[in-house]
Structure 1
Amino acid sequence: MSGHFITFEGIDGSGKSTQAKLLAARLQADGHEVVLTREPGGSVGAEEIRALVLEGNPDRWSAETEILLFTAARRDHLERTILPAVAAGKIVICDRFADSTRMYQGLSRGDLRGIVDQLHSLMIGREPDLTVLIDMDPATGLARAKSRQTAEERFEDFGQALQEQMRKGFLDLSNEFSDRFCVIDGADDMDRVSNAVYAAVAHHIEAFS
């Protein structure tokens, strides 16, 4: 049986990480083998790169350098975690993937989308089977993200203007890749959001299993 590769996307504070965890638990309860992972990260090498890109001052790296770092982390993650699990028939649920790089590096800090897509084609060559976009008001999402008070606040420190740009970008991306995107209203009650996510994913699994 072939596996499934499902990603979650959204602005900071959208609740996507929580929803990814809730989905993993529900699918495991249904009897599926699930691998819950994240980007940047998800493998030993990629987790080391995670600290480099998510901590420190906002101007620590140029957008071009970030694209290279994220792509390197993603390649290791793909080789060591994602592809083996999918080949084994498992459901891989990943908190962020290439769509985040298309937005945060390819759109927000210059017109670098073409570079992101070229590197993705050369070094990754894999899109998710299904992408769940948790849509959220930028001001609400940023307030949620900042309230976590973790060391990984480098992108939150760019401020609300970035989050507004990212929200629009993600929604545009959902139209560009409408065959694999499912948009869920993240402003709803957490349980209702979870039910909507589960229904969309269950439909996908049934259709492509």
Structure 2
Amino acid sequence: MTTLVACSHGTDSADGRRVVADLVSLVRDRMPGVRVVQAFVDVQEPDIASVVEQERTADDVVVVPLLLSVGFHTAVDIAKAVRPHADVRQADPLGTHPLVAQVLATRLRAAIGGTWLDGDAVVLAAAGSSNPAAVADVEAAAAALAALIPAPVTIGYASAIEPRIADAVRAAREAGATRVIAASHVLAPGYFAGLVRGAGADVVSAPLGADPRMADVVIDRFRSA
């Protein structure tokens, strides 16, 4: 047996904690016989390093980042916990999986009441990282979403790099959009979801959340690793 360590960022948001726990429960329910445990890189305990040290004593381990792109937490925090151990592997983050774009499209349809309008524009609102690989991941996610919806998609970031979400919303309006919709490219409620809500879009979709398809993404990343 190989243990799946579902490693998320961690949050002070009670709603965010519940959503992540619900997602991990969905993964656990779909993988009978596989031990599935949580770990965190910040804010919450237990931290990823201590979980890896504990779990590897009884089993091989695959750490699946419950993160949407590569970046500091995957390249440093998780990698530092994984790298010293031959029996521990690190899976890819979730965001470029095709099912994530499907969930984003579903959240957008729910946010607009199921009806797209002429003049709609979508801003994919991501957390942001200065890591070029993270930028590439977000750009891939935006392209995948654009293939599924009848509206143009641009990108805005909550932190680290430009354009910021509010600037991307403003640019979409200046380009002629009559309704700007922010697609929340975040996993759960919390700090970054709040920044998306406050960026001035006319409509904001819900986070990806504990959707069964997100659980399937986690499982696919685990199996691929």
TM-score above 0.5, yes or no? no
- Between the two structures, name the one with larger relative contact order (CA 8 Å, sep ≥ 6): 1
Structure that is richer in helix per residue: 1
Structure that is richer in strand per residue: 2
Q: TM-score range by the shorter chain?
A: 0.3 to 0.5
Q: Rg larger in 1 or in 2?
A: 2
